[in-house]
Chain A
Amino acid sequence: MALKLPIYMDHAATTPCDPRVVEAMLPFFTEKFGNAGSRNHRFGWEAEEGVDAARQHAAALIGADEKCIIFTSGSTESNNLAIKGAAYMYEKAPAGSRSRGHIVSCIIEHKAVLDPVKRLVKEGFDATFIEPPSDGVITADMVKAAMRDDTILVTIMWANNEIGTVNEVRQIGALCKQRGVLFHTDATQWTGKMPVNVDADNIDLLSWSGHKIYGPKGVGALYVRRQRPRVRLQSLLDGGGQERGFRSGTLNVPGIVGFGKACEIAKAEMHRDAERLSHLRHRLETEITARLDSCAINGHREKRLPHITNISFGFVEGEGLMMAVKNIACSSGSACTSASLEPSYVLKGLGVGDELAHSSLRLSLGRWTTDEQIDYAIEEISKAVKKLRTMSPLYDMHKEGIDLSKVEWAHH
C-alpha cells in the first residue's frame, strides 16, 4: 500500500481523535443535548449520565475516586486552577503582603505552569525554579534542596513535553507528603500513556488533557485529592457552582463524554501502545544515528516516555530541516519562526548549547504510527540532514577541524 503523505509525527502536540471517541460523543450533540445541570427532565438526566460515566472512566485511569475529578477546558486551565487555587487558599499572608508562601517548580515546565507561578511571584509569593541536570530528570533530592519552611506547593511535571523525560514523581510526592506540602503534577504527556495511581504515586493535584490521549480538544481534568489531606482550592471561575464549586460553567457534555471514552480506551490499550511505540522509536533512533554523524539524543535515554524522541543534528538548523522533511509533521526546538531568535528554553535549560538547540527535531509517535512511516522518516531525515550539511558552513569548519566555539562570530 502506498504511504499516505504527509505523515504525522507530532503526537506530543496533539493527537487525532480515536473514531470510538467521536462515536461516543455524537449523540450528545443532538438527541442527548441537555444541560447536565438540569435536574428536572430527561434531557438533563441523559447528559448527567454521560458525564457521570466519563467521570468514572477518568477516575479509573488514575486510580482515583470519581468525586476527585474536576472537568476543565484542558491542562492549561487545570494547571492554573491547581497552582493559583492552592496558592490563594494556603497563602501565609493575605493579598497585598510579601512572603505569602513559597512554591517549588522547575525551569523546564510547560508555560502553562511557569506563567501561573510567575504571576503568583508578582503577587507576593516566592518561587524556586529548579535547574535540571543535563539528562533533564528532576529528582526528589533536588526538590528537597529547593524546599523551605514556608513552602506551600510543589509543582513538577510528570514527563516533559519536548524531550519526554520522566521525573521522580512518586518520590517527590512522598517527600511532599512527609513535609505536609501540596504536590501538583502536570501529567499532560504522561497520563493515558503510562500508568498512574494517585495514592501510590503520592499526588494531591494532577492535570491532564483530552487531546493528548486521542480525545477531543478543549476538555481536560484536574484531580483534587479529597482525603489525607482534603485539598481545598480557591476557584478561578465564579458562577453556577458546577464541579463542586471548583469550576463554574455549564459542562461541556460532548467533550467530557469524549474525554471519558479516551480515558477508557487509554486504560485498556496503553501498555500495548507503549510497547509497540518504544520499538518503533528505538528503530528510528538507532537507524538515524547509524546513518549520520554528529547527532545527539536529548534527555535521559532510559527515563523517557516511549513515544517521544528529541534529536539534535549538529550543523543543521531545525526549521530549515523541517522544511526539507515537509512530508513529516514534527516540531523543532529552533525558534526561527518566532521573532525572538531564542531557541527552545527546555533544551537550553538542560545546558544543550544554543546551536544544538537550534538544530533539534522532536518526533512523537502515536497510536496509528506504522512501520512504513518509520522507514520513511529514517530515509527522509537522513537524506535531508546530509543535503543541508553540504550547504552548511559550520559542517565544513567542523570537518576542517575548526573549533566552532573558538570562532569569533559577528552577533547581530
Chain B
Amino acid sequence: MAYGPKIIDHYENPRNVGNFGTQEQMKSDTRIGVGLVGAPECGDVMQLSIKVDPATGRIQDAKFKTFGCGSAIASSSLATEWLKGKTLDEGLAIRNTQIVEELALPPVKIHCSVLAEDAIKAAISDYRAKNGLPAETQAAAH
C-alpha cells in the first residue's frame, strides 16, 4: 500500500516517543495520565501518556509508544503533537476524523485513528480518576 507523505514523515520521524518513567512510576505520579488501548493479538497497542500542569490544567507534555503498523504509529505521533498545550476538555474534543483527514489515512487504516482517539480519552480519564475529577466536564459533553 502506498502511503501519503504525512504518514511517512510521522513514521520515519515520530514525535514524542517515550513515556514518563516506568509503568509503576507513572502510576504513582498524580500529574501523569496514561491510556493503554488495543491488544497485541489485534496487531495494535498504543500507550499515550500526558503530563498535566496542575496550576493551569493544561497538558504540558505528551508521549507515546505504539506497537502497530505505520498508520498506527503516525496517528499516535500526531495525537501527542496536538495534545501539547491543550486543556483536558480541548484534548477530549479531538476526533478520529481529524486524524484521518490530517494524515490522509486510507479507509482500511481508519481503525488506527479510532485507536488514537481512544488512547487520548483513556489517558485523560486516567488523569482525572487519579485526581478525583469528574470524568467529563459540561463544556466537553456533547
Contacts and interface: CB of A to CB of B under 8 A. Distances in A.
Contacts of A338: 108
Contacts of A394: 40, 45, 67
A358 interface: yes
Interface in B87-142: 108, 111, 114-115, 118, 122
A393 B108 contact: no
Interface in A358-378: 358
B23 A358 contact: no
B114 A319 contact: no
A335 interface: yes
A200 interface: no
Nearest to B14: A391
B4 to A, nearest CB: 13
B69 A409 contact: no
B55 interface: no
Interface stretch (A241-249, A281-289, A395-403): A395-403
Given A341-B111, A402-B23, A412-B115, A393 B66 contact: yes
A333 to B, nearest CB: 10
Contacts of A339: 108
B68 A336 contact: yes
A297 to B, nearest CB: 20
A217 B31 CA distance: 61
Nearest to B24: A400
Contacts of B69: 317, 319-320, 323, 334, 336-337
Contact of B43 (A334, A395, A400, A402): A334
B48 to A, nearest CB: 9
Contacts, number: 104
B72 interface: yes
A195 B118 CA distance: 54
A355 interface: yes
Nearest to A389: B67
A330 interface: no
> Is the contact region of chain B dominated by helix, strand, or loop, or is it mixed?
mixed
Interface string A334-353: 11111101010000000001
Nearest to A405: B40
A98 B38 CA distance: 44
A393 B46 contact: yes
Given A393-B47, A412-B114, A316 B67 contact: yes
Contacts of B65: 391-393, 396
B106 to A, nearest CB: 10
Interface string A250-262: 0000000000000
A342 B108 CA distance: 13
Tell which of A316, A335, A393, A395 has the most Cβ of chain B within 10 Å.
Answer: A393
Contact of A358 (B36, B40, B111): B40
Given A337-B108, A393-B47, A323 B39 contact: no
Interface of A: 315-320, 323, 334-339, 341, 343, 353-355, 358, 390-397, 400, 402, 404, 409-412
27 contacts: A316-B67, A317-B43, A317-B44, A317-B68, A318-B43, A320-B11, A323-B70, A337-B1, A343-B41, A355-B40, A392-B65, A393-B19, A393-B46, A393-B47, A393-B65, A393-B67, A394-B67, A395-B67, A396-B19, A400-B22, A404-B40, A409-B38, A411-B39, A412-B42, A412-B114, A412-B115, A412-B118
